[in-house]
Amino acid sequence: MHYKLLNRRGAPEIQGHTINMSGTGLLFAARSRLRTGDRIEIYVLWPPPSGEGHGFTLLMYGRVVRSDHDKAAVDIEKFEV
């Protein structure tokens, strides 16, 4: 997965690691502590089932609701496949 902070100008796309995901939220390993309230764009690369066919990219938009030094929880407001 990759993420980008939308409320910080010139913010780079950063690689993270998905820990847990539901229909309304995502917990992921972050490279640094994020600020609660940060708006975020997240790309999750979804592999094809059983290695057949093509996978897809899940694009999510949300807001950081909790963060510590190496993890962040995001409330997903919108997603696209």
For the beta sheet containing 17-21, the strands, ordered from the edge strand earlier in sequence to the opposite edge, are 14-15, 2-5, 39-46, 56-67, 71-80, 25-29, 17-21
Verdict on whether the full-model pTM lies above 0.85 = yes
Q: Which residues pair with 21 in a beta bridge?
A: 26
**For 11-46, how does the pLDDT look when each residue is reduced to its tens digit (9 = 90+)?**
899 999 999 999 999 999 998 889 999 999 999 998
Closest to 28 measured CA to CA, from 70, 76, 75: 70
Q: How confident is the model at residue 54 (pLDDT cuts 50, 70, 90)?
A: confident
